[in-house]
Amino acid sequence: MKKDNNDKNNLMLNKKLSRRDMLRLAGVGGVGLLLGGGAIGSLLASDKKTTSNASTILSQDQDSIPFYGAHQAGIITPSQNFICFAAFDVITDNVSDIRKMFQKWTTASATMVSGSLIGNVNDNPNLPPSDTGEAAELSPSRCTITFGAGPSLFDARFGLQNKRPPSFQELPPFKADSLEPEWCGGDLCVQVCADDLQVAFHAIRNLARIARGTAVLRWTQEGFQRSTQADPKATTPRNLLGFKDGTANPNVTDSKLMNEVVWSQSVDGTAWMTGGSYMAVRRVRMRIEVWDRSTLKDQEDTFGRHRHSGAPLGSKDEFDSIKLDALDATTGKPVIPSNSHVALAHGDGSIQMLRRSYSYSSGLDLKTGQLDAGLLFISFQRDLQKQFIPIQQRLANNDKLNEYAVHKGSAVFACFPGTTEGGFIGETLFGGI
Amino acid sequence: MKKDNNDKNNLMLNKKLSRRDMLRLAGVGGVGLLLGGGAIGSLLASDKKTTSNASTILSQDQDSIPFYGAHQAGIITPSQNFICFAAFDVITDNVSDIRKMFQKWTTASATMVSGSLIGNVNDNPNLPPSDTGEAAELSPSRCTITFGAGPSLFDARFGLQNKRPPSFQELPPFKADSLEPEWCGGDLCVQVCADDLQVAFHAIRNLARIARGTAVLRWTQEGFQRSTQADPKATTPRNLLGFKDGTANPNVTDSKLMNEVVWSQSVDGTAWMTGGSYMAVRRVRMRIEVWDRSTLKDQEDTFGRHRHSGAPLGSKDEFDSIKLDALDATTGKPVIPSNSHVALAHGDGSIQMLRRSYSYSSGLDLKTGQLDAGLLFISFQRDLQKQFIPIQQRLANNDKLNEYAVHKGSAVFACFPGTTEGGFIGETLFGGI
């Protein structure tokens, strides 16, 4: 995209009309009266339009992330601090209802990630407000909203059987799975991430509201990771076991690599998914109380990394290469235990995927009196069969971490390619129907 | 406290030795080897000491809030973005165990709120780490940790029957209560607030770990409010019903008012609580889906305020006074409905309390398929009988908001006065036993 002065002016306009300012404009007896509702409406419409133009020139360390683009945001976007994840079940049997919902979801999402309220702030007092309002005055907070379809969407209900990507199906059972139905599956998913949890909650809630009559929430999970805002120099975030998580992620700024690892390609044979990505999500409960009683050595042997530095065992730096063949001079055993998490996840290094996980803490498990806390594991990949599944099979069979982690929830979603303004997310699948 | 150059130097030293830096110092092959473990130990000890001295000269808009002081932090402290609230039950019958736990809790809390890890970072590999580690590299994040005792602590188990403040007892039942035992009560409470949820979680988890054998978690709830970091100009936060919440709070910088409204005084007759405060906590589930279908007029009549501005109905500014006797010129009815939340909470304006609530979102209620979200209401007051209870009775009997809110959890706690370095929280109650 070209940067020109006009774009910069649009950006200024966009900046000037934040959620906060629009509220002020529309305040009781405010400019709304001076300009009349129609003028406010045009201002808002104009603002909405410039948002998507201007946002393409915003870099990702700024507060607003573009909604429109070749790919959906929220996949290779650097992780925000919070997630509200929701799986939905479709309750209509009419695919055109789904299409209409995605059209509304797209417009609402583009508005919300720009930091605006949905609809006209001068709401008719005799109707429900068009926006639930709890994100008023809050900044865009790098909010991203990412949509996907589960394998069940391609069953007989909607006539989409022939559209299912051949390699896209429910995950096979893994050894040591302890799945609970209330944390599994879903016809659709919405992943909202933002640096402000209230902004993320607001998005999920308004999308659920828009879905009324077409889809209902099946399960939701909030998550967090360390705040980059509180410490902008912070590096790889730590999970709730105290270890850095995500060190070995592929470089999201390498677009050739992203095409190999993350984005579905036209040669993969499913045209509607070209530019999309497949998500695996697992709700992994951590046995925190047991972990906290294990020794530091046991913890480091479990991960295969030093806790403080994040370096592979026997190395000094977090980003040192994983040397699985290094042997301890005294014992003759591998320095990095072969059943450690890093050894099994890394394998021969030939399989990569993009992890984008969040910690979760959901109060007490009343059955055990222990904390229901752990990891909402999320990965994106070009092909689940070739990436997530073989890695997870290795881990499920042998990972020493399985003593401390239990997979309670599981789902996979085909996350659509992006769309441009005027189009809608999911149009490659639902558009021609 | 005197400010002098020495304090400033200590502050610099304290700043230099953040969690992040200590980790770097103690990193594999790092300065730990150069100085020897003992030297690191003294550095840490010196750091810990200077933290509490230096922290008294930190103002509250900085990242670190002093743990020691005449009052506990986290009561009149301006709200942070997140809360992890935990109620504990004591499982020992020996009050000296409780005292020892509070001594350990105090030391650990002072360390954690300063941004340091508990214990020595050069942990013995053959022991469990002294800190669970997930807050490493994270800043203090304005973390506060506030402790209290529930009425049940004064039963026959510990010989504390005579120490119970006369006006401190379990709350009476309120009309429209729908309490569930798993969200009620507790012998002790720990309220952790911080601008980083991972820092708050870390504190609760480590305190629960320290309590092992003496107290166990009874219930916990995470909460959030709008991020002031994301928008430092933001004013009163909005609750999940989209309305500003906390507008009418008393001014926490008015120490005379705080002595009247919040802090227990020696004339109140319970010496060990002088300088402490009584907390009421209510887990209020909001019927979000029902609310979202109600009209803007109905919503505004429910709160008695304009949604956008937060102003009382009929007024323009959020902080305009509540005029309950103003009548609508056309209908002759009160402009602010008499059953509105603000009318009933305000009453004649003679009763005040300090509210310090957080929104919560805890996934789906599996029974109803609706969001389990709402408000973790928290208030602090000098006397529950004279403040929280009469206000809550007015609200419970008539509040129009009861159509949309259900009280599911409830507890009260006597939050101890603060302590100075070398002392411990709770010493006024447990110290002489």
Asked if residue A277 belongs to a domain, the reply is: yes
Strand-pairing partners, residue A370, are A365
Q: What is the pLDDT of residue B59?
A: 40
Asked if residue B5 belongs to a domain, the reply is: no
Average pLDDT over residues A141-160: 96
d(CA B261, CA B255): 10
Better pLDDT: B38 or A4: A4
Average pLDDT over residues A100-120: 95
Q: What is the mean pLDDT of chain B?
A: 85
Number of other CB atoms surrounding residue B248 within 10 Å: 17
DSSP designation for A189: E
Q: Do B242 and A216 touch (CB under 8 A)?
A: no
Question: Helix (H, G, I), strand (E, B), or coil: what is residue B224?
Answer: strand
Confidence of residue B121 (pLDDT cuts 50, 70, 90): low
Average pLDDT over residues B40-45: 31
Asked if residue B291 belongs to a domain, the reply is: yes
Confidence of residue B39 (pLDDT cuts 50, 70, 90): very low
Q: Do B231 and A139 touch (CB under 8 A)?
A: yes
Residues composing chain B: 433
Number of other CB atoms surrounding residue B318 within 10 Å: 17
Give A272→chain B minimum CA distance, Å: 32
Q: What is the pLDDT of residue B233?
A: 54
Confidence of residue A31 (pLDDT cuts 50, 70, 90): very low
Segment A216-269, tens digit of pLDDT: 999 999 999 875 544 445 578 899 999 998 888 999 999 999 999 999 999 999
Confidence of residue B378 (pLDDT cuts 50, 70, 90): very high
Confidence of residue A2 (pLDDT cuts 50, 70, 90): very low
Q: What is the pLDDT of residue A137?
A: 87
Q: Do B308 and A242 touch (CB under 8 A)?
A: no
- Smallest Cα–Cα separation from B403: which of B242, B324, B289? B289
Burial B26-41 (b: 16+ CB within 10 A, else e): bbeebbbeeeeeeebe
Average pLDDT over residues B171-188: 96
pLDDT at B170 over 60: yes
Percent of the residues in chain A that have a pLDDT greater than 90, as a whole number: 76
d(CA A51, CA A64): 9
Cβ-nearest to A316 among B29, B126, B131:
B29
Cβ-nearest to B209 among A292, A366, A369:
A292
Residue B411 φ/ψ, nearest 5 degrees: -165, 160
Identify the weakest region by mean pLDDT among B9-23, B212-226, B240-254. B9-23
Asked if residue A352 belongs to a domain, the reply is: yes
Number of domains making up chain A: 1
Q: What is the pLDDT of residue B122?
A: 67
Closest residue in chain A to residue B238, using alpha carbons only: A134
pLDDT at B16 over 60: no
Segment A322-358, tens digit of pLDDT: 999 999 999 999 999 999 999 999 999 899 999 999 9
* Distance between first and last Cα of chain B: 31
CB pairs A-B closer than 8 Å:
245
Q: What is the pLDDT of residue B60?
A: 41
Q: What is the pLDDT of residue A268?
A: 97
One-letter amino acid at A264 equals S
Contacts of B89 (CB under 8 A, 6+ apart): B186, B187, B188, B215, B216, B218
pLDDT at B24 over 80: no
Q: Do A141 and B84 touch (CB under 8 A)?
A: no
Residue A354 φ/ψ, nearest 5 degrees: -100, 110
Q: What is the pLDDT of residue B290?
A: 94
Give A406→chain B minimum CA distance, Å: 19
Cβ-nearest to B138 among A198, A230, A308:
A230
Q: Do A227 and B293 touch (CB under 8 A)?
A: no
Chain B residues with CB under 8 Å of A240 CB are: 132, 134, 201, 205
d(CA A50, CA A12): 10
Average pLDDT over residues B403-411: 97
Q: What is the pTM of this model?
A: 0.86
Segment A300-312, tens digit of pLDDT: 999 999 999 999 9
Q: What is the pLDDT of residue A19?
A: 54
Residues B338 and B324 sit within 8 Å (Cβ to Cβ): yes
Asked if residue A165 belongs to a domain, the reply is: yes
Give A33→chain B minimum CA distance, Å: 14
Question: Helix (H, G, I), strand (E, B), or coil: what is residue A372?
Answer: strand
Average pLDDT over residues B179-201: 96
Q: What is the pLDDT of residue B119?
A: 87
Q: What is the pLDDT of residue B43?
A: 31
pLDDT at B55 over 60: no
Confidence of residue B234 (pLDDT cuts 50, 70, 90): low
What is the span of the domain harbouring residue B24? 11-430
d(CA A142, CA B230): 10
Please compute, for residue A366, the number of CA atoms within 13 A of its CA located in the half-sphere on the CB side.
Answer: 5
Identify the weakest region by mean pLDDT among A147-156, B7-16, B117-126. B7-16
Q: What is the pLDDT of residue B40?
A: 29
Q: What is the pLDDT of residue A40?
A: 29
Identify the weakest region by mean pLDDT among A382-396, A401-415, B50-64. B50-64
Average pLDDT over residues B100-120: 95
Question: H-type helices in A178-295, by residue range?
Answer: 197-210, 255-261, 288-291
d(CA B142, CA B80): 7
Asked if residue B193 belongs to a domain, the reply is: yes
d(CA A245, CA A226): 11
Cβ-nearest to B316 among A28, A308, A370:
A28
Confidence of residue B432 (pLDDT cuts 50, 70, 90): confident
Chain A residues with CB under 8 Å of B241 CB are: 133-134
d(CA A103, CA A52): 16
Chain B residues with CB under 8 Å of A233 CB are: 20
- Smallest Cα–Cα separation from B350: which of B236, B248, B244? B248
Average pLDDT over residues A37-47: 31
Give B260→chain A minimum CA distance, Å: 33
Q: What is the pLDDT of residue B295?
A: 96
Q: What is the pLDDT of residue B368?
A: 86
One-letter amino acid at B199 equals V
Cβ-nearest to A242 among B132, B233, B243:
B132
Asked if residue B149 belongs to a domain, the reply is: yes
Q: Do A138 and B230 touch (CB under 8 A)?
A: yes
Query: What kind and span of H or E run contains A412?
Result: strand A405-415
Dihedral sign for Cα B341, B174, B249, B359, please: negative
Q: What is the pLDDT of residue B426?
A: 97
Better pLDDT: B15 or B431: B431
Q: What is the pLDDT of residue B141?
A: 94
Using CA atoms of A396, A400, A404, A410 in order, give the dihedral in degrees to the nearest 10.
Answer: -20
- Site of tokens 């007989």: A156
Average pLDDT over residues B350-370: 92
Number of other CB atoms surrounding residue B209 within 10 Å: 18
Confidence of residue A395 (pLDDT cuts 50, 70, 90): very high
Residues B223 and B79 sit within 8 Å (Cβ to Cβ): no
Q: Kindly write down the DSSP assignment for every residue of B18-51, as one continuous string.
A: -HHHHHHHTSTTSHHHHHHHHHHHHHHHHHHHHH
pLDDT at B222 over 70: yes
- Smallest Cα–Cα separation from A252: which of A74, A389, A65? A74
Asked if residue B118 belongs to a domain, the reply is: yes
Q: Do A127 and B205 touch (CB under 8 A)?
A: no
| B367 class by beta-carbon count within 10 Å (0-12 exposed, 13-18 middle, 19+ buried) | exposed
How many helices and strands, by DSSP H and E, does chain B display?
A: 11, 9
Q: Do A230 and B199 touch (CB under 8 A)?
A: yes
pLDDT at A429 over 60: yes
Contacts of A40 (CB under 8 A, 6+ apart): A25, A26, A31, A32, A120, A121, A122
DSSP designation for B230: T
Q: What is the pLDDT of residue A234?
A: 55
